[in-house]
Structure 1
Amino acid sequence: MTSLSEQLPHVTAFPHALGTGILLHTGTTLSSDVYARIDSFIADYEAVLSRFRDDSIVGRMRTASHGGTFDFPDWASELFELYDRLFAATNGAIDPCVGEDLIRLGYDESYSFASAPDAAEHAGAIHGRATWAADVERHGSTLVTHGPVSLDFGACGKGYLVDLIAGILNMGHPQPATPPAPASGGKTVLAPDDGYEAAPAITDRSDTALAPAGGGCLRSGLGVDQGTTQYVIDAGGDLLIRANSPIVIAFEDPTDPANAVGTAELSNGSFCASAPSRRHWTDAAGHQLHHLLNAIDGLPVTDVAATWVAVIPEPKSVATPSPQYPTATADGLATALFTTSASQLRVHFPFECAILTADRTAAQSTDFPGAFFTE
């Protein structure tokens, strides 16, 4: 088997991006010009969408006592559109306004992880918290509110940034990447990073080493050649893969990050996962809390342990179009599977998935490109 370092030997890191870091593995050295574009765009992205910054647009929306009109960059419009679709597909269980609930539960700007004593009494749409459909008026990339609204775009935010970085690699500015034709060849084996917050670690089942993986391939800093490029972009476990040989991705065990419970193989597509195992805390009463909430009641979901989602480009001959932002879609659906059945979501989105419930029951869709380990 071919190692990642042999196939894509050049690694470029953006270690502080979104709190998890982003890694690009490329076939050639990333040019200084393209590196600067990506680095600058990451800074702009956080300055717009981070709920942990008072000076971001999202931060200003949270403190606007009478609301207001907030103009986001044009590239944010498609992110908002994806949230429109997720809100509808989940009947409101996925909602950017869940940011208020996260703050009440202690996942706040200062990372206090100290929940408010009355958090459960005020959390969720059922207790009158603002909702995306009723309290945020959208006109393209402009949002209008009539009071303070605490937005959190964490369900899709990392995946969306990955897609926009792919657009920079391909064309020199943020836009969706047009996927190349599916590639073929021998397997490339990667190993997981035990620092990832999400669950798609990357490994060979027999490999005990832990190492990060990610990617991107450029040509003279002018963008990538769609006919020949290979790259893997990794944002804390949210993966966009364009490779000539399949990448083996391990399913991190949510109860033991050093172990895997299955693997998938992907050479062309997006792969994301979600699990509370790397971001959880205990409140004063001893309740276990985490960041994966059902926005309707505003409380952590307890019956799902981990989810894995693959969004794979469809051949042009297939009538169903591939998502324009595949990694953002996979990212959002990995969260949505905590609140909504796969069958309901598949009415609205093309994807494949695997799910591990809290009682260790495993299930996967028919065409999911992987499987759980069995004894």
Structure 2
Amino acid sequence: MTDLVSHRFDAIGTRWSIDTSLPLDASLVEAVADRVERFDRDWSRFRPDSLVARIASTAGRTILPDDAPGLLDVYRRLYAATDGAVSPLVGRTLSDWGYDEHYSLVPAPRISSVPSWDDAISWHGRSIETFRPVTLDVGAAGKGYLADILSALLSRAGVDEHTVDGSGDIVHRAPRALRVALEHPRDATKAIGIVDLSTGAIGASASNRRVWRGAHHILDAVTGRPASAVIASWAIAATGIEADGLATALIVGDPSRLAEHFDFEWVRMLADGTIERSAGFTGQIFAHQTVADRISAHRAAAHEGAA
């Protein structure tokens, strides 16, 4: 797409853009706004009038919106592939850490543990039964899923070539590849690499966003604490929900386990600056030490020592 036109808006706590070759007509702009509002009203844990807020208030059975089965499928696979480290049940624990509806950013004296899936809920398609009041949080994959939903809405309206960007979680549908920079998690003016995204999606996750008083918004649901070993990750997949969810999972999970459940490529940066990437990643990594570099250096040093 050349000479792109951007439709920009704020949604679910971040900045969005939809890039197309022609401006969206007024009815389509309204349809996008309506669909975003519906998604937020259903899934936001920051709104007192949301479905998530109602579920959190009491245990029982609730009929979920028609987009729920897609969320269930991806979350259940992420939960299994990370041994519970990625979970939609982290909402209460995130609130205790200070990432609550008031954005207090002040951790509570006691941090609630994240309940296990089968002990807390039974979720089948559009029906969820909670055995106790629980606060759902779909932030691990929600931006990517909303990008998918908006992409499908555009396609149904005849806008087949488009890019939906939710602040780094991107769904791209166009013949020409989109060049995406991988932002350095410790310096937003730099990139650690680039990737050319063909039709598909890329998700990004980093612990330098939404940071406060020694905490951040990416929790390991097993420990109930902010993740620390991995500080940034990127996942490339067919859909936005998978790319977004996998980027989160790469912060707390084992890539080889994730590859048993999903088809994707990935890059991630560890806390010591080491960069790991999948064997099939075709982008460019800049002058940073990767795991492969470390292995080569170690072998060279061993060879010199043996000579």
TM norm structure 2: 0.90
Q: Is 1:235–2:170 an aligned residue pair?
A: no
| CA 8–298 in structure 1, closer or farther in 2 if over 3 Å, else same | farther
Alignment equivalent of 2:177, drawn from 246, 253, 258: 246
Match of 1:73 in 2: 65
Q: Is 1:223–2:172 an aligned residue pair?
A: no
Q: Contact conserved, 1:311 with 1:327, CA < 8 A, in 2?
A: yes
Alignment equivalent of 1:110, drawn from 81, 99, 102: 102
Alignment equivalent of 1:340, drawn from 249, 253, 275: 253
Q: Contact conserved, 1:364 with 1:371, CA < 8 A, in 2?
A: no
Q: Distance in 1 between matches of 2:282 and 2:63?
A: 40
Q: Is 1:356–2:272 an aligned residue pair?
A: no
Amino acid at match of 1:141: R
1:118 aligns to what SS in structure 2?
A: coil
2:12 aligns to what SS in structure 1?
A: helix
Deviation at 1:83, TM superposition (A): 0.9
Amino acid at match of 1:307: S
* Deviation larger for 86-95 or 346-355: 86-95
Q: How many residues align?
A: 288
Match of 1:90 in 2: 82
Q: Distance in 1 between matches of 2:247 and 2:215?
A: 19
Match of 2:305 in 1: none
Deviation at 1:269, TM superposition (A): 1.2
Alignment equivalent of 2:202, drawn from 268, 271, 275: 271
Kindly provide the CA deviation profile for residues 265-315 of structure 1, in whole angstroms up to 9, marking residues without a partner as x: 112110111001121110xxxxx1111111011101111010011114xxx
Deviation at 1:77, TM superposition (A): 1.5
Match of 1:123 in 2: 113
1:97 aligns to what SS in structure 2?
A: coil
Q: Is 1:19–2:9 an aligned residue pair?
A: no
2:208 aligns to what SS in structure 1?
A: helix
Deviation at 1:123, TM superposition (A): 2.7
Amino acid at match of 1:60: R
Q: Distance in 1 between matches of 2:117 and 2:135?
A: 10
Match of 1:300 in 2: 226
Q: Distance in 2 between matches of 1:371 and 1:354?
A: 10
Q: Is 1:157–2:142 an aligned residue pair?
A: yes
Q: Is 1:31–2:25 an aligned residue pair?
A: yes
RMSD: 1.4
| CA 369–230 in structure 1, closer or farther in 2 if over 3 Å, else same | farther
Match of 1:10 in 2: 5
Amino acid at match of 1:106: G
Q: Contact conserved, 2:91 with 2:137, CA < 8 A, in 1?
A: yes
- Where do 1:150-229 residues align within 5 Å? 150-171=135-156, 222-224=157-159, 229=160
Kindly provide the CA deviation profile for residues 57-87 of structure 1, in whole angstroms up to 9, marking residues without a partner as x: 10111222xx122111112221112111111
Match of 2:217 in 1: 291
Amino acid at match of 1:13: R
Kindly provide the CA deviation profile for residues 201-257 of structure 1, in whole angstroms up to 9, marking residues without a partner as x: xxxxxxxxxxxxxxxxxxxxx423xxxx32111011100112332222111111111
Q: Contact conserved, 1:8 with 1:231, CA < 8 A, in 2?
A: no
Q: Contact conserved, 1:308 with 1:334, CA < 8 A, in 2?
A: yes
Amino acid at match of 2:205: S
Amino acid at match of 2:47: R
Match of 1:132 in 2: 117
Q: Distance in 1 between matches of 2:124 and 2:244?
A: 24
| CA 123–230 in structure 1, closer or farther in 2 if over 3 Å, else same | same
Structure with greater proportional helix content:
2
1:34 aligns to what SS in structure 2?
A: helix
| CA 247–45 in structure 1, closer or farther in 2 if over 3 Å, else same | same
2:174 aligns to what SS in structure 1?
A: strand
Kindly provide the CA deviation profile for residues 118-168 of structure 1, in whole angstroms up to 9, marking residues without a partner as x: 22xx334xxxxx232321111311111122101110000000001011111
Q: Distance in 1 between matches of 2:53 and 2:257?
A: 33
Q: Is 1:260–2:186 an aligned residue pair?
A: no
Q: Distance in 2 between matches of 1:366 and 1:147?
A: 43
Q: Distance in 2 between matches of 1:99 and 1:8?
A: 41
Deviation at 1:29, TM superposition (A): 1.5
| CA 269–369 in structure 1, closer or farther in 2 if over 3 Å, else same | farther
1:249 aligns to what SS in structure 2?
A: strand
Q: Distance in 2 between matches of 1:42 and 1:302?
A: 32
Q: Structure 1: 5+ residue runs without aligned partners?
A: 125-129, 172-221, 283-287, 313-325
Q: Distance in 2 between matches of 1:245 and 1:46?
A: 31
Q: Structure 2: 5+ residue runs without aligned partners?
A: 289-307
